[in-house]
Amino acid sequence: MPDTKCNNPYHGMKPAPFKHCPDCGALINPKINVESDCFKHHTLRKSKGYGFCPDCGIKLQK
């Protein structure tokens, strides 16, 4: 998981609205508790153009 910031404005938000950045997968808000079954939403998020799951930070796009 990269720890360098991408250009997504979520990096500058406090608090950030997601646990992980949807563009680079970096942890942006460790305080957010996420569903352990977020994989159910991965297909939908991928279709929305998310590069990474904002809950678990896994890479969705190839």
- CA 30 to chain centroid, in Å, comes to 11
Do 28 and 20 meet the contact criterion of CB atoms below 8 Å apart?
yes
**x/- site string to Zn ion, residues 3 to 42, per CB under 5 A?**
---x-x------------x-xx-x-----------x----
Q: Tell me the site size for Zn ion, rule CB under 5 A.
A: 10
Do 27 and 57 meet the contact criterion of CB atoms below 8 Å apart?
yes
Residue 47 CB, nearest distance to Zn ion (Å)?
Answer: 14
In DSSP terms, 59 is beta-bridged to 52
Chain residues binding Zn ion by CB under 5 A are 6, 8, 21, 23-24, 26, 38, 53, 55-56
